[in-house]
Homo-oligomer: A and B are copies of this chain.
């Protein structure tokens, strides 16, 4: 069973964290290959990433795609996320984890920006 985990930094501002939770809710409403979708934070708020991973595995996920919801490859993306990936693989060797590039590196980002800028 395929699952999607969206990882964000986490903020002291509750509304910013809520934006990520709302995004995960919207993702669940769309048709996709992912039977389970959730979000996890690195810092400052919950659910933390290991708890989000545990929830997905408990729900039956066998393939987990991890999308870093970051625009820039700062230390969180280049160091923290590979560490979390290694830990997840060690904790759940029966699960196939795939860590994608951060969202800002998406080949389609220029197209998305122009879509957004032209629509308004």
A interface residues with partner B (beta carbon < 8 Å):
4, 6, 8, 11, 13, 15-16, 19-20, 23, 26-27, 29-30, 32-34, 65, 67, 69-75, 98, 100, 103-106, 108-118, 120
User: Can you tell how many copies of this chain the complex includes?
Assistant: 2
Kindly name the residue among A23, A27, A72, A111 whose own CB sees the greatest number of chain B CB atoms within 10 A: A72
Given contacts A11-B74, A71-B70, A120-B98, contact A113 B65 (CB under 8 A): no
From B8, B16, B23, B29, contact of A109 by CB (8 A): B23
Hey, which chain B residues are within 8 Å of A74, CB to CB? Answer: 11, 13, 16
Give the distance in Å from the alpha carbon of A104 to the alpha carbon of B116 in the complex.
11
